[in-house]
Structure 1
């Protein structure tokens, strides 16, 4: 499996067939898919009007990739801050974190997981990822309030009725 940057370069490579470039964009979602693979793809396809016949608008692939990269760029500073905090805690003898890691440190998959692929937040990926990271840093309780849309109409273990995001992600529903 190639890295996200290497796959992104292939999406931008205009010498490749547009269908291959579309597959490479989907491969980027193997590395970073904040809503889950299918919901993230559906969001990018809807936002950037990626046509079924990609030959009609291959530029839409680069626009979708740029949105994905902008959202992905928000994660490393948060991951570095969390790693520094854990190093300090371990140095002080706290071997088990006081709170669970609020988002997946292995590529930030499903940070705002949407169990229904056709239902995802209307905002752009960077806005949604930024909101989730800020809410996690502030210690927002995902049961009381949705970390993406701020709705107080939350139901435990169910996706938000407003934006479709499942609190706690795919593997850790709150």
Structure 2
């Protein structure tokens, strides 16, 4: 499997067939999908109007990739800092993280996981991702209110009624 940057280059390559460029954009989601694969694809397709017949608007792929890369830029420094902190803790014999983090330090899947691909935040990915990471860094408790939209009437272990985000992600719903 190639890396996110290598796959992004394939999406931007206008000499490639637009259908292959669309496949490359979907492959980018294997590396970074903040809402989960299907919900992130649905968000990008809706926000950038990616048509079924991609030949009608191949530039929609580049617009979608720009948004995905901007969100990834928000995550990378925090993931690198978390990884550096983990290495330091391991060097001192402490092998477990202090607290669970809401993102995968090797990817970025499920930062704002949406179990229903059709229901996800409508704001740009970098805004939503930044909001969730800032709230987690500030020690916000996702049991009290939604980290994305601020809804205070959350149902335990269920996705937010307003934005569709499941706190804690797919494997650890809060």
TM range (shorter): over 0.9
Residues 82, 105 of structure 2: 8 Å contact kept: no
- Show CA shifts across 1:126-168 (max 9, x none): 1111011101101111110111111111111100011000000
TM-score normalised according to structure 1 size: 0.94
- The residue correspondences of 1:9-158 to structure 2 (distance < 5 A) are 9-90=9-90, 94-158=94-158
Whole-Å Cα distance in 1 between the matches of residues 135 and 66 of structure 2? 24
What is the number of residues matched between the two proteins? 174
The Cα RMSD (Å) is 1.3
5+ residue gaps, structure 2: none
1:111 CA displacement: 0.8
- Show CA shifts across 1:26-45 (max 9, x none): 11101000001110000000
5+ residue gaps, structure 1: none
Task: Give the 4+ runs in structure 1 shifted more than 2 A.
Answer: 83-98
TM-score normalised according to structure 2 size: 0.94
Whole-Å Cα distance in 2 between the matches of residues 115 and 78 of structure 1? 24
